[in-house]
């Protein structure tokens, strides 16, 4: 047990009312790490009050998701400990302007796996494959004999790891990841083929959004990029889900697979905030480290997968700003 885990253990034991959060725009690993933490804490401490709050449900069926409290705003509610999964930046969980809990003085912990610059006392992070793997390993270490695997826990671990490692493809997969996976798989095996199929389903109108994104495709050297102007969304009546799904599809399965291209970025508007844009970068081993670029734009992530948020009036302005940093980084 490292010193962060010792502290976390003490705080969990002391707390009576624990709130669990995951980052906004949650992916499968975000949901799985939150649900896993919830289920294990409920199992070990049936008398504590443990709550999960999110703004949306997962798009695939996950164990324990029926216990999520769907809320529009997150306000303080007598919790005496907040545990956040899959990021270590408080701002990625709550909104300064919307959420009453933003300025809460309650003890906060983060269980994460993204690269960070400095060690923090309230962050448990061993740079594992996924937040799900970190939650599993940490809880097992902290609670030893009290820690138990059940069907829900086994399933959540498999879904979280498979999704964040791209089916064990990425470098973040370690022998330890495989061992954790094997351990829970022995207890209960999920149908991964079915899960992958269901989690890849997209709404029909995503096709229109894919077409519009592709119209903006530009290739410069070994980099490609695409974007979605706001006017097009209004003109074509594209839904938020359609645009977001199209963006995810092109980002993960198209952008860097064009012959001669190895990396790039894609820009979409935020539906929640006026003049905010999300920029996602993807790269390939041996080519551009996109974390460097995201960081220069106040974002973050991994070497091959990173993102940032930019405030601007038009998408052209965003693209220009990103290209400015790209040129700076690539030429240096
Ligand atoms: Mn993750």
- 26 C-alpha to center of ligand 1: Å? 9
The rounded Å distance from CA 126 to ligand 1 centre is 13
Alpha-carbon distance 283 to 305, whole Å? 6
Neighbours of ion ligand 1 (CB under 5 A): 29, 86, 131, 164
Ligand 1 centroid, distance to 137 Cα (angstroms): 15
Cα–Cα dist 184/50, whole Å: 24
CA of residue 109 to ligand 1 center, whole Å: 16
Q: 3-state class of 83 per DSSP?
A: strand
Domains annotated for the chain, with CATH where assigned, are 3-198 (3.90.1640.10), 206-331 (3.10.310.30)
The share of the chain scoring above pLDDT 90, in percent, equals 87
| Helix, strand, coil percent values for the chain (each to nearest 5) | 45, 15, 40
In angstroms, what is the span from residue 85 Cα to ligand 1's centroid?
8
CB 74 within 8 A of CB 101: yes
What is the distance in A from the centroid of ligand 1 to the CA of 59? 16
Q: Over the stretch 76-128, which tens digit does the pLDDT of each residue have?
A: 999 999 999 999 999 999 999 999 999 999 999 999 998 877 899 999 999 99
Distance 55 CA to ligand 1 centre (A): 18
| Ligand 1 center from residue 67 Cα (angstroms) | 21
**3-class DSSP state of 12:** helix
How far is the centre of ligand 1, averaged over its atoms, from the C-alpha of 177 (Å)? Answer: 13
pLDDT on residue 243: 94
Is residue 41 within 8 Å of residue 48, measured between CB atoms?
A: yes
Cα 287 to ligand 1 centre (Å): 22
- Expressed in angstroms and rounded, the spacing between residue 3 Cα and the centre of ligand 1 is 22
Ligand 1 centroid to Cα of residue 156, in Å, is 13
For residues 282 and 277, what is the distance between their CA atoms, to the nearest angstrom?
17
How far does the centroid of ligand 1 lie from the alpha carbon of residue 164, in Å? 6
**126-154 burial code (b ≥16 CB/10 A, e <16):** eebbbbbbbbbbbbbebbeeeeebeebbb
Q: What is the pLDDT of residue 160?
A: 97
Instruction: Identify the pLDDT of residue 266.
Output: 98
Do 172 and 115 contact (CB within 8 A), yes or no? no
**137-167 per-position pLDDT tens digit:** 999 999 999 999 999 999 999 999 999 998 9
Quote the pLDDT of residue 202. 85
pLDDT of residue 170: 84
Distance between Cα 80 and ligand 1 center (Å): 25
CA of 166 to the centre of ligand 1 (A): 11
Return the residue matching tokens 């690993």.
29
Task: Determine the distance separating the centroid of ligand 1 and the alpha carbon of 163, expressed in angstroms.
Answer: 9
Q: What is the mean pLDDT of each run of 10 residues along the chain (332 residues)?
A: 95 97 95 98 97 94 97 95 96 92 96 88 96 98 96 98 91 95 98 90 91 98 96 92 93 95 96 89 95 95 91 96 96 77
């Amino acid at each position: 047990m490292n010193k962060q885990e010792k502290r976390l253990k003490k705080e969990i034991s002391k707390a009576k009312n624990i709130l669990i959060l995951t980052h906004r725009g949650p992916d499968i690993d975000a949901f799985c790490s939150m649900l896993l933490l919830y289920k294990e804490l409920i199992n070990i401490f049936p008398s504590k009050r443990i709550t999960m709050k999110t703004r949306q449900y997962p798009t695939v069926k996950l164990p324990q998701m029926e216990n999520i409290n769907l809320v529009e705003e997150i306000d303080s509610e007598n919790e005496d400990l907040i545990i956040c999964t899959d990021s270590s930046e408080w701002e990625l969980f709550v909104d300064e302007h919307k959420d009453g809990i933003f300025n809460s003085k309650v003890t906060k912990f983060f269980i994460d796996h993204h690269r960070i610059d400095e060690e923090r006392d309230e962050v448990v992070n061993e740079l594992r494959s996924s937040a799900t793997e970190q939650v599993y390993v940490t809880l097992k270490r902290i609670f030893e004999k009290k820690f138990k695997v059940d069907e829900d826990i086994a399933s959540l671990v498999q879904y979280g790891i498979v999704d964040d490692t791209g089916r064990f493809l990425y470098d973040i997969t370690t022998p330890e990841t495989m061992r954790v996976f094997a351990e829970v798989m022995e207890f209960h095996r999920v149908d991964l083929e079915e899960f992958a199929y269901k989690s890849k389903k997209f709404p029909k109108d995503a096709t229109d959004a894919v077409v519009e994104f592709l119209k903006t495709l530009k290739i410069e050297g070994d980099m490609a990029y695409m974007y979605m102007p706001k006017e097009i969304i209004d003109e074509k009546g594209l839904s938020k889900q359609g645009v977001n799904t199209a963006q995810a599809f092109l980002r993960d399965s198209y952008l860097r697979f064009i012959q001669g291209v190895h990396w790039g970025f894609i820009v979409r508007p935020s539906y929640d905030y006026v003049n905010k844009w999300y920029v996602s970068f993807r790269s390939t081993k041996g080519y551009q480290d996109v974390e460097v670029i995201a960081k220069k734009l106040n974002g973050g992530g991994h070497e091959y997968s990173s993102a940032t948020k930019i405030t601007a009036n038009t998408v052209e302005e965003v693209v220009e700003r990103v290209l400015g940093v790209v040129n700076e980084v690539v030429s240096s």
